[in-house]
Structure 1
Amino acid sequence: GPRDHLQSLNIPVVADLPVGDNLHDMVFVPLYYRIDNSSLIDPLPYFTVENLYNLYTSASGPLAHHPDGITYINTRHNQRGLDWPDSMIISVVEYFGDSLNGTVSQYIDNSQLWSDYWRPYVGGYYMALDPVLARPVSRGTVRLNSSNPYGPPLVDPKYLTEKRDFETILDAVRLTVYITMKAPISGVTVFPPIPGCQLCDKRYICDDYLRCHVRQLARSYYNFVGTCRMGQSGDNKAVVDSRLRVRGVSNLRVVDASVIPEIPNGHTNAATIMIAERAAQFITQHN
């Protein structure tokens, strides 16, 4: 790890490396639309004999994946070109369930207001549209809390600390709300304002409300990467080399999403599996 950090905790330095730097993650802002007319929903559109057969025999077909849709978009802040979208909109229709407890428990502040917000959703369906910041430029850190290896780390993701990140996700939210204000979606959904944010002349598109919505609900999309980044030998920000070996340490590799230098604009699951497959090849070749 970083020499100064290790020494501050009286931990012997084996290798002075930027472990814990470059933490980044996708960020999403959920938009919840209540669907009051449940007759519009077909809860099992793919529940056929053929699809069941494919699911149980080969884990394939519509029933083998989560029933959501993904739309890639390029905002005006994208500096990587149209082939590298900087945002996504993920959409899914779900049944809320019969209890508020699990949902409201995630809101530490104003739990009563959030209970009132979610109560009309109970026992019905809703549409969740999640604008996602797919290529963040903000970078956070992971640090040790003590010399105890079993103690919880200090994680500072620094979400949206770069203005470009905030404006990018805000543009994705604007587009999502604009789409839902048009027919036919606008005629079958209800989009109540969230607690803590005030409407502007009953127009959700107004920036004051949307900026408040982003600040209130922006959260992790659970795709953390980068804290043991891979790089070339001359890269002083790299922890591992192209064969996943920790620089300056013998017989030690890192094999997980932390070696990814920059997050892909998609879920990291497939990339992490690929890294593990390559690691298996490297170890086999080494032995």
Structure 2
Amino acid sequence: MESAGEYDYIIIGAGTAGCVLANRLTRNKDFQVLLIEAGGRDDYVWIHIPVGYLYCIGNPRTDWLLKTEPDPGLAGRALIYPRGKVLGGCSSINGMIYMRGQRSDYDRWADITGDASWRWDNVLPIFMKSEDHHGGVNAIHGAGGEWRVERQRLSWEILDAFRDAAEHVGIMKVDDFNGGDNAGSAYFEVNQRRGIRLNTAKAFLRPASRRTNLTIMTGCHVEKLLVEEGANGKVCRGVQFSGGGRMFTATARRETLLSAGAVNSPQILQLSGIGPAAMLHQHGIEPLVDAPGVGENLQDHLQLRMVFKVKGVKTLNTTAANWFGKMRIGLQYALFQSGPMSMAPSQLGAFARSDDSQATANLEYHVQPLSLEKFGDPLHSFPAFTASVCNLRPTSRGHVRIASNNSFAPPKITPNYLSTAQDRKVAAQSLQLTRRIAAAPALARYQPEEFKPGIHYRTEEELAEAAGLIGTTIFHPVGTCKMGRAEDPMAVVDSDLRVKGVDRLRVVDASVMPFITSGNTNSPTMMIAEKIAAQIMA
């Protein structure tokens, strides 16, 4: 066992949160910071071309290659569960959508933790701090920060028609999803710079890497935290990890910051003896802290992919159907960084309520001018568009639990999708709403024909069944180390993200969200890291 040195702060995971933490903490020249990443450098060309997510997900160079357990709510199917294993983490392989969520999300966090600093009015300036918005500074956007937000460099007739159709059923057109109420439809804004993906490694880590007080170790697998008995209870002294066939320990003088994400953070805690005691005993791990909430409260957005065949309009299915079309697309990107290769995985967004009982929009659409059977499959041979809709506030809860005491064994991920009557009802309602949009006059000229799931699913019970057959993750797992009050036995961290029962240890990533945000989760994760970094620096 070799010593990798002594640092003020050790950050585990160079994903969205870890890169932000590394940048902010190293601004203090007196802080020595170690950043440990299991993956490699973000020098793979497909990371930076927006459409390259197709070649990054499912690729061991950039993805942990995780899968869920077979899920009863999905007719027993197991899903791929992409998680970034590279500098930048999930920001290197995700959909690049800039989305904060809703005011009520953060006010709810504040209520459950008893900490008003999480309220929308208090976190909005944190979002704005790192932002470089294409529209410049205004009441809700910032400029000059590291995190560039741009409009997409494309236009599709079929998407414009879908937006018109959505307006016909009451989903009004809006200009901006990020003012605290995202109801309406618009093209998503994306984290790109002139048609090239911007990940957190480029935005935050690259500038910090030039500072002499930051040490970055890639290709290093964290085995466990080093937790000892201190004068006032358990104390995290650092971390044990391996890399290049060697074993290391590193010591943290001040704090260890666990930013390995909603799957790997609870896994590392459990391997370190922090988790449900009975489960740890089963795997031969001595429980140091009986923390029943570690790995529980898993939440994710399940997208229901409805596919409609169309006529008389261009879609990517036909545009990229032959070598000439693909060559033209490649040339368009090479010359102008525009066109289909600059596309985020989803281009048009819409937020709506599943019924009038919902106080705010509880559905999100990701609409695409293409269709395929499942991720990784070739495009269909016929022109079509996909309208994926997800329940933004699912009531189903899953969990992440280690499969053994071997740190290299992937954990068991059990989302429990559609396991509540409420979630099945919302799923059925969302499919019905999508059919109403497809039947609106604005789309009539294209003669949309439902291909998936199929018009033979009609009743609420049948539509809930269909949801289980076509549903798939949209890659937004959160909640597995949730923050909460001291008296909440399932809270893993307090509102300052300090692990209960262990001094000098925090979790800083999407796992701390007590409730999932009403939208894409990357930028909220960045805000969490910004908030805690500022608190540490103060």
* TM-score band, normalised by shorter chain: 0.7 to 0.9
User: Which residue in the other structure is 1:93 paired with?
Assistant: 369
Q: C-alpha deviations, 1:151-192, integer Å up to 9, x for none?
A: 111111000100100101210110111221232324412323
Q: Does 1:236 pair with 2:489?
A: yes
Which runs of 5 or more residues in structure 1 are unaligned? 44-51, 57-62, 105-117
Q: Does 1:172 pair with 2:430?
A: yes
The secondary structure found in structure 2 opposite 1:30 is strand
The secondary structure found in structure 1 opposite 2:432 is helix
Q: 1:247 to 1:40 in 2, by over 3 A?
A: closer
Report the TM-score, using the length of structure 2 for normalisation.
0.41
User: Which residue in the other structure is 1:7 paired with?
Assistant: 281
User: Which residue in the other structure is 2:296 paired with?
Assistant: 21
Aligned pair count reads: 243
Q: 1:232 to 1:33 in 2, by over 3 A?
A: same
The secondary structure found in structure 2 opposite 1:103 is coil
Cα distance in 2 for residues equivalent to 1:67 and 1:3: 42
How many percent of aligned residue pairs carry the same amino acid?
28
Q: C-alpha deviations, 1:3-59, integer Å up to 9, x for none?
A: 111111110112111200101111110011123324589x8xxxxxxxx9xx98xxx
Q: Does 1:248 pair with 2:507?
A: no
Q: 1:126 aligns with which of 371, 379, 384?
A: 384
Structure 1 residue 222, shift from structure 2 partner: 1.0
Q: C-alpha deviations, 1:112-162, integer Å up to 9, x for none?
A: xxxxxx7xx32x542111121100011111111001111111111000100
Q: 1:251 to 1:270 in 2, by over 3 A?
A: same
Cα distance in 2 for residues equivalent to 1:169 and 1:142: 24
Cα distance in 2 for residues equivalent to 1:244 and 1:130: 33
The secondary structure found in structure 1 opposite 2:507 is coil
Cα distance in 2 for residues equivalent to 1:33 and 1:238: 43
Q: 1:143 is aligned with what amino acid? A: R
* Contact 1:177 1:205 (8 Å CA) reproduced: no
User: Which residue in the other structure is 1:111 paired with?
Assistant: none
User: Which residue in the other structure is 1:37 paired with?
Assistant: 312
Q: 2:404 is aligned with what amino acid? A: S
User: Which residue in the other structure is 1:157 paired with?
Assistant: 415
User: Which residue in the other structure is 2:528 paired with?
Assistant: 275
Q: 1:135 to 1:231 in 2, by over 3 A?
A: same
User: What is the correspondence of 1:132-143 to structure 2 with a 5 Å cutoff?
Assistant: 132-143=390-401
Q: Does 1:262 pair with 2:502?
A: no
Cα distance in 2 for residues equivalent to 1:155 and 1:253: 22
Cα distance in 2 for residues equivalent to 1:91 and 1:25: 19
Q: Does 1:224 pair with 2:477?
A: yes
Q: Does 1:190 pair with 2:449?
A: yes
User: Which residue in the other structure is 1:181 paired with?
Assistant: 439
The secondary structure found in structure 2 opposite 1:36 is coil
Which runs of 5 or more residues in structure 2 are unaligned? 1-274, 320-332
Q: 1:102 to 1:71 in 2, by over 3 A?
A: closer
* Contact 2:307 2:452 (8 Å CA) reproduced: no
Cα distance in 2 for residues equivalent to 1:77 and 1:7: 48
RMSD: 3.1
Cα distance in 2 for residues equivalent to 1:139 and 1:39: 40
Cα distance in 2 for residues equivalent to 1:20 and 1:137: 17
Structure 1 residue 245, shift from structure 2 partner: 0.9
Q: 1:132 is aligned with what amino acid? A: C
